[in-house]
A and B are shown apart, each in its own frame.
Chain A
Amino acid sequence: MRFEILALALIVGGCTWAFRFFPTKADLSGIKPDGILARFLASTGPAAIATLFVASALPMLTADVPVPLGLGTAAVLAVFASTRSVVMATLAGSVGYGLAVWLL
């Protein structure tokens, strides 16, 4: 393993671990249930996941009419609505996207 890749991995990996671990030790006992910080933290999850969905899907908007993206997204929505299963919806979305690419 080249030194620069190992160094990059160790720096980024170490910082990422610190980002994930140290905040779990934050003292939350003083936070009021209806306080600003409590509401901020409660909305963090939906905000983060919505952001990551958009960020990962945005590069796929290359065509004038993004049919594969539309079909893949529709497949996720339809299968999740009927099964409430994250795994089934994910796999259906992937299959839907691949089918659209294949058909076009």
Chain B
Amino acid sequence: MQVDPPKSSLPKSSFTAGVVTALPIALGYFPIAFSFGVAATRAGLTGPEAFGLSLIIYAGAAQFLALALITGGAPVLVSAFTLVAMNIRHVLYGPALIKRVGPAARTKHAWAWAFGLTDEVFGAALGALARGKVAFSEAFMFGLGLAAYGSWLAGTALGAFAGGAALQNYPVIDAALGFMLPALFLALLLSILSRAQLPVIAVAMVATVAVTLAWSGTAGILAGMIAGAVSGLLVRRGDAV
């Protein structure tokens, strides 16, 4: 007679499991989005404009860069081209996630949940799947994505409402919030770290620094991702994250 494993030992794949997995992201997103709302109003955008950027673009680094381009007076098409080039890295996330899940991956409603496939959501999904704590499902992806998106929107709204001068008298808090994004990336990196991927990480980091210093930040991001991923071709089978 075959005995089924207890339910508690099975990986969860519900909407709620997605929300729970998103909690670290939501906690990290809120202060970063708050900073964005403050920075946007400081740059001369209205509250609805700041909120609109978060609602429609929903890509943190691109949104901060958009502020610099808007205040610098760059033409719309030039700004759009720069920001689109910066976000092109996202084309790698869907296939990497689906490949990780395997044939069980359903994508019927991906047109909706993939909207929320940000850097951090991708990292969190990959990390949770790698640790075996959750199983992929579209409900899980909706929970993960909506919780993160809600936090991003709420943080932006509050920051825009607080206004551009909100953190001027609190430089320490301003600095601490500014480190939230790199801290989140580093923690996500640690969560999916494996010995076999160390060369990939090293190559990506070196390429990012070199190309950023030699050319630009956007080029550095593209170079780091591509160089790291290409160097992964040297990783042996079964070692991959």
Q: Complex formed: what's the CA distance from A5 to B71 in Å?
A: 11
Is B1 an interface residue, CB under 8 A from the partner?
no
Residues of A in contact (CB 8 Å), total 75
Is B156 an interface residue, CB under 8 A from the partner?
no
A49 touches B189 (CB 8 A): yes
B57 touches A16 (CB 8 A): yes
Q: Is the interface of B mostly helix, strand, loop or mixed?
A: helix
> Which of A4, A13, A19, A47 has a CB less than 8 Å from the CB of B229?
A47
Interface residues of B (CB under 8 A from A): 23-24, 27-28, 31, 45-46, 48-49, 52-53, 56-59, 61-62, 66, 70, 76, 79-80, 83-84, 87-100, 103, 107, 110-111, 114-115, 117, 119, 122-124, 126-127, 171-173, 175-194, 197, 200-201, 203-205, 207-209, 212, 217, 220-221, 224-225, 227-233, 235, 237, 240-241
Given contacts A24-B94, A47-B200, A77-B190, contact A72 B179 (CB under 8 A): yes
Q: Would you give the 0/1 interface string for A17-51, flagging 1 where the beta carbon is closer than 8 Å to chain B?
A: 10111111110110101101011111111111111
User: Nearest CB to that of B112 among chain A residues?
Assistant: A21
Interface residues of A (CB under 8 A from B): 1-2, 4-13, 15-17, 19-26, 28-29, 31, 33-34, 36, 38-60, 68-69, 72-73, 75-77, 80, 84-87, 89-95, 97-98, 101-102
Scoring A25, A26, A49 by chain B CB atoms within 10 A of each residue's CB, the highest score goes to A49
User: Nearest CB to that of B127 among chain A residues?
Assistant: A86
Give 14 CB contacts A-B under 8 Å.
A9-B53, A15-B80, A19-B87, A28-B99, A40-B232, A41-B95, A45-B126, A53-B189, A54-B205, A55-B220, A68-B175, A72-B182, A90-B184, A93-B187
Chain B positions within 8 Å of A24 at CB level: 94-95, 97-98, 107, 110, 114, 117
Q: Complex formed: what's the CA distance from A55 to B62 in Å?
A: 12
